[in-house]
A and B are shown apart, each in its own frame.
Chain A
Amino acid sequence: QQPVQSPQAVILREGEDAVINCSSSKALYSVHWYRQKHGEAPVFLMILLKGGEQKGHDKISASFNEKKQQSSLYLTASQLSYSGTYFCGTELGYSTLTFGKGTMLLVSP
């Protein structure tokens, strides 16, 4: 079951904040977040395990609401380097990730 990401696209000015959401209709074991720049491979950002924990590094953090089977990725004080497509990948506990369709983020000067 493919997770649903919203919004599909976000345009920000440098320094603004953004939230990207990922939801599933199935009970999740974990949620992964990746960023992919044009023509490059997806790059791992963070994993959240069930338990509602929140993680973060630098100005990018994420939360996992186990009851709602939702995860949100928070980008604060966005930088030009944050531009790219963000994918969430959900795992039901069977060791394979199913990715959403992605959220395109464009940060302009």
Chain B
Amino acid sequence: DTGVSQDPRHKITKRGQNVTFRCDPISEHNRLYWYRQTLGQGPEFLTYFQNEAQLEKSRLLSDRFSAERPKGSFSTLEIQRTEQGDSAMYLCASSLAPGDSPLHFGNGTRLTVT
């Protein structure tokens, strides 16, 4: 068990550019979550997958955000036409079903949009 890994750890981009983040969950975990966290706030839910199916997406999530989990293994989160308000820590977590299992978080990708 190597834990949840995220890549890159840091990303600086200019406004309007597209960025993609990757998350590798714990291998036997079938659930994968994306959260966003800004300074002084708790993690904010973005979306989650069970295996390869995206089961829920936050209503607050802009259409510029898209996530995939091909083959139910790693996941990618893409942000198109980044805005300064997208600057945050993007956290990935994985867990076993059912829903009352603990979440194991990765160390996150810190995005800075200039």
Interface residues of A (CB under 8 A from B): 2, 29-30, 32, 34, 40-44, 47, 49, 87, 89, 91, 93-102
Contacts and interface: CB of A to CB of B under 8 A. Distances in A.
17 contacts: A2-B42, A30-B100, A34-B105, A41-B105, A41-B106, A42-B43, A42-B91, A42-B105, A89-B43, A95-B56, A95-B99, A96-B45, A97-B45, A98-B45, A100-B42, A101-B40, A101-B42
Contact of B105 (A43, A47, A94, A101): A43
B21 to A, nearest CB: 14
Nearest to B91: A41
B107 A29 contact: no
Nearest to A100: B42
Interface of B: 4, 31, 33, 35, 40-45, 48, 55-56, 91, 98-108
Nearest to B102: A44
A34 B108 CA distance: 16
Contacts of B31: 95
A100 B45 CA distance: 11
Contacts of A96: 33, 45, 48, 56, 99
A96 B43 CA distance: 12
Nearest to A99: B42
Nearest to B46: A96
Contacts of A44: 102-104
A95 B43 CA distance: 15
